[in-house]
Amino acid sequence: MGYGAVARAIGPIVSCVSERRRVGIFGGTFDPPHVAHVVLAAAAMHQLELDVLVVTVAGVPWQKVGSREISSGEVRLEMAEAAFAEVSGVEVSDMELRREGNSYTVDTLHELSAEDTDLILLLGSDAAAGLDTWGRHEEIADLASIAVFPRRGHESAVPPAGFTWMPLELPGLEVSSTDIRRRAAAGVPIVGLVPSAVRNIVESHRLYVPESDSP
């Protein structure tokens, strides 16, 4: 078979492959979203050549519930919309907030999956290492591939066996929502750790400030 015939034969396959949508999913509690989340989202769009990145704000992050008070879904959604506004291609979704009960990533993946779509789940390496503690994690492995971003202090953490994953690049940013909440509670500046639009929301709602410190 000459080149022309081969090209005719594989042409539809190639165009079919290239027409697949590449959809990233980046979930979090985002209490609050911080600069590492934003850098990670932009890096994912670029490195994975995504068509869209869906940022999902967890409704009931069951692995965190009980360990601390979690800000309302409404204000976390508002902060996420503000934080990711500058990353083109990102859609902040309230799909997990609208769902009843605990937020399971597997349900989100089912909702987003489609015949023509490749789903790529973005995780910091700390979260990736614990994937086998997530609800119905075997289904996650069937529905999506995993993109792992190194997180300071967890650089060598990798997903458990059974997941298809790829390592991506991210500048090491020692930033966490936990640290930002602590700073805000102590009246220490959070300038630069969160986008300024997020800082305005934190300050206007007096988020993370202990009740006893309120006027």
Residues of this chain that bind ligand ATP (CB under 6 A): 28-31, 36-37, 40, 123-124, 126-127, 149, 151, 170, 173, 175-178
11 vs 153, beta carbon nearer ligand ATP? 153
CB 204 within 8 A of CB 79: no
Q: Which residue is nearest to ligand ATP (CB)?
A: 124
Q: Closest CB to ligand ATP among 10 and 166?
A: 166
Cβ of residue 119: shortest distance to ligand ATP, in angstroms? Answer: 15
Q: Taking phi first (over 0 means left), then psi (-120 to 50 degrees means alpha), and beta for anything else, what does residue 161 get?
A: beta
Measure the CA–CA gap between 176 and 178, rounded to whole angstroms. Answer: 5
In angstroms, give the least distance from the CB of 126 to ligand ATP: 5
Least distance between ligand ATP and beta carbon 9 (Å):
42
Token look-up 């009960």 returns 101
Type of residue numbered 93: S
Shortest distance in whole angstroms from residue 173 CB to ligand ATP: 5
CA distance 122 to 22: 12
| Closest CB to ligand ATP among residues 173, 197 | 173
Closest to ligand ATP by CB, 151 vs 199, is 151
For ligand ATP, the closer of residues 11 and 208 by Cβ is: 208
Secondary structure (H, E, C), 111-158:
HHCCCCEEEEEEEEHHHHHCHHHCCCHHHHHHHCEEEEECCCCCCCCC
Query: In angstroms, what is the minimal distance from the CB of 102 to ligand ATP?
Result: 15
CA atoms within a 13 Å half-sphere pointing along the CA-CB vector of 122: 32
